Amino acid sequence: MGRLSGPTPVGAAHPDTAGLRPAYAAVRTHRSLVVVLVVLAAGGWWWTVRQMSGMDQGPWTGLGTFGWFITVWVVMMAAMMFPSVAPTVALYSRMSRAPLGPMAFVAGYLATWTVAGVVAFLVGVLAGRVAPDLQWDSAGRVLTGGTLLLAAVYELTPLKRVCLNKCRSPLGLLLGSWRDGWSGALRMGMRNGAWCVGCCWALMASLFALGVMSPVWMAVVAGLIAVEKVLPWRRSATYGVAIALLALGVLVLVAPQVVPGLTVPAPSPMPM
């Protein structure tokens, strides 16, 4: 492992238990970097909402062409993830003197999420070929509710806990994978993104289930991700997100019309 090229934040003696404190301290000393990431996220929200205008067809909305979807996906990930990953980027910037390090770190982080988007698109294409005529009032509602319930269960699994702990202990994560230079920053950003995908894939599946082209559900999922990663009460946040997903899943199964912001597809026409 390469040697750190900058000062080590307070708490480095216990990287696995320092939690978010070093990241919060880094935010206070790198406010301009955090502001840039938040502004980029705001720009991503503005652009994505414009692109999604009129495209929300409810659960399992079509993904469009590959090029269009990946472009929207990358900007969407920047909008949704930059606020919650900003403390980690600020901490990296405090620990490194590489001039382009933070930019490379963010690029690596987005690269990992881009790969996740490619996988999601391929899964969507495969599912469309396996079940091209999936109707909401038959298996569609069950699939949507089941996806939400699966996401709720995943919140309480050991794998989720491990991934979330990595995201919530950025000092230990950075020290355990440190590489010098911009190429090292790129690799570290990709590794951080991989832990983030492991932490958030079920929540992102919930977004697809509820309507991936819906700015409302995009905001809800982004809020749940931020609650888990940024708030100091990890256990309460995790259980709170699990309960919210459980409630959504049950409502979709028994009374989808009462779910605020959910575009319920029209019933399929009766055969003549």
Q: Per-residue pLDDT for 29 more than 50? A: yes
pLDDT of residue 16: 35
How confident is the model over 162-198, as pLDDT tens digits? 999 888 888 888 888 888 888 899 999 999 999 999 9
Inter-axis angle of helices 215-230 and 158-168, to 10 degrees?
80
- Interhelix angle 31-52/215-230, rounded to 10 degrees, is 160
Position 173 scores a pLDDT of: 83
With a cut of 60, say whether residue 18 has pLDDT above it.
no
Terminal-to-terminal C-alpha distance of the chain = 70
Q: Residue 114 is encoded by which pair of tokens?
A: 């881009």
pLDDT tops 80 at residue 239? yes
Give residue limits of the domains in the chain: 21-255
**Banded pLDDT at 133 (limits 50, 70, 90):** low
Mean residue pLDDT across the chain: 85
- The closest alpha carbon to 105, from 183, 178, 40, 189, belongs to 189
| pLDDT for the residue numbered 132 | 59
Residue 172 half-sphere exposure, CB side, CA atoms within 13 Å?
Answer: 18
Q: What is the DSSP letter of 228?
A: H
Query: Rounded mean pLDDT of 120-142?
Result: 78
Higher-confidence residue of 21 and 35: namely 35
User: Would you state the torsion angle of the CA atoms of residues 232, 234, 240, 246, taken in this order, to the nearest 10 degrees?
Assistant: 150
Please name the amino acid found at residue 46.
W
pTM, two decimals, is 0.84
